Structure 1
């Protein structure tokens, strides 16, 4: 079976800060770079951070704008969470399990 991959493009207002967060913080691989965008690889998926003249309006809470990753092992998820903590990344909500014991359990 072929593994699904995704491509996600999102607006940013600071490419250098974006690279620090995704490359140094989360361990993404840096791909193409230009004066208006950076392409990042995260666990085989492609993220494109595109410089926007005006960033998105701040939102209250995590909805509607967010994206999540699905891990195939608990160890992979824990390793990324541990890395983010060790690198001092800010969390909107600290990693935790939700809906434990149900079919929609997630962390």
Structure 2
């Protein structure tokens, strides 16, 4: 089965600020846009930011414990190739990104070992980026 790009529309309460973040910090290419929304090429997927009042999860994120860290819920992101993940981590650090969970190796030496990092966009949407040296571990138990 070949993977198809996903489409995800997220709420942002400040479109210009979020637009600058996704464009400049992540270096994402913009697609179509209007005053209240912007499409981005999000690592081959379609991410759309939409103007929306602040949501409860943007104001006060809930967390769940995973591998000794408080993971924000909800969150979204992409599983990247290992080198892409390392490059993104360095890019984000170069922008003095405040991480919710700093880039690290989760489940080290266990089934499902992965690189991961969490951050918030300027409107409080939580993002996770991860990578596996062995993509066969993506769904391993």
TM-score normalised by structure 2 residue count: 0.68
Runs of at least 5 residues in structure 2 that lack an aligned partner in the other structure: 64-70, 117-141
In 2: Cα distance, 1:15 partner to 1:27 partner: 16
In 1: Cα distance, 2:96 partner to 2:21 partner: 10
Residue 11 (structure 1) aligns with: 11
Preserved CA contact (<8 Å) 1:21 1:89:
no
Residue 97 (structure 1) aligns with: 105
Give, in angstroms, the shift of residue 86 of structure 1: 0.6
| Pairs within 5 Å for 1:1-107 | 2-52=2-52, 54-57=53-56, 58-61=60-63, 62-72=71-81, 74-106=82-114, 107=116
Equivalent position SS for 2:104? coil
In 1: Cα distance, 2:104 partner to 2:95 partner: 18
Q: Over aligned residues, Cα RMSD in angstroms?
A: 1.5
In 2: Cα distance, 1:63 partner to 1:25 partner: 21
More strand by share: 2
In 2: Cα distance, 1:30 partner to 1:89 partner: 21
